[in-house]
């Protein structure tokens, strides 16, 4: 059975943006947003009134030892920390 995908809309300034991330868990969507350089991440889960709030960062780190040849020597690694869930009215 395939994992159920959920869709998370990135919010900025209290309004939805056009960026939508698909992931089974909110953390996966937040990692995708963080890898694009977002710091204050607010993801509205489609079909619910939940807004998942994360703080994110990305750092440049050396590529993994088993990384493919085409991968550059330094790669971006994302990290997120969940701050909580808010509910829309």
pLDDT tens-place values along the chain, 89 residues long: 667 899 999 999 989 999 999 999 999 999 999 999 999 999 999 999 999 999 999 999 999 999 999 999 999 999 999 999 999 87
pTM score of the predicted model = 0.85
Tokens encoding 65: 């030892």
CA angle 18, 40, 6 (to 5 degrees): 50
> Given this model, what pLDDT does residue 1 score?
60
**What is the rounded CA–CA span in Å between residue 78 and residue 30?**
9
**What is the rounded CA–CA span in Å between residue 56 and residue 52?**
12
> Given this model, what pLDDT does residue 52 score?
96
Tell me if 55 sits within 8 A of 79, measured CB to CB: no
> Given this model, what pLDDT does residue 24 score?
95
Domains of the chain: 6-87 (3.10.470)
Question: For tokens 């994360």, what's the residue?
Answer: 54
């Amino acid at each position: 059975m395939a994992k159920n995908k959920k869709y998370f809309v990135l919010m900025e300034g209290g309004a939805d943006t056009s960026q939508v991330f698909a992931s089974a868990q909110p953390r996966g969507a937040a990692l995708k947003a963080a890898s694009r350089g977002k710091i204050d991440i607010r993801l509205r889960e489609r079909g619910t009134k939940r807004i998942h709030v994360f703080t994110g960062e990305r750092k440049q780190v050396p590529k993994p030892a088993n990384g493919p040849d085409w991968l550059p020597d330094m790669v971006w690694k994302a990290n997120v920390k969940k701050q909580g869930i808010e509910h829309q009215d």
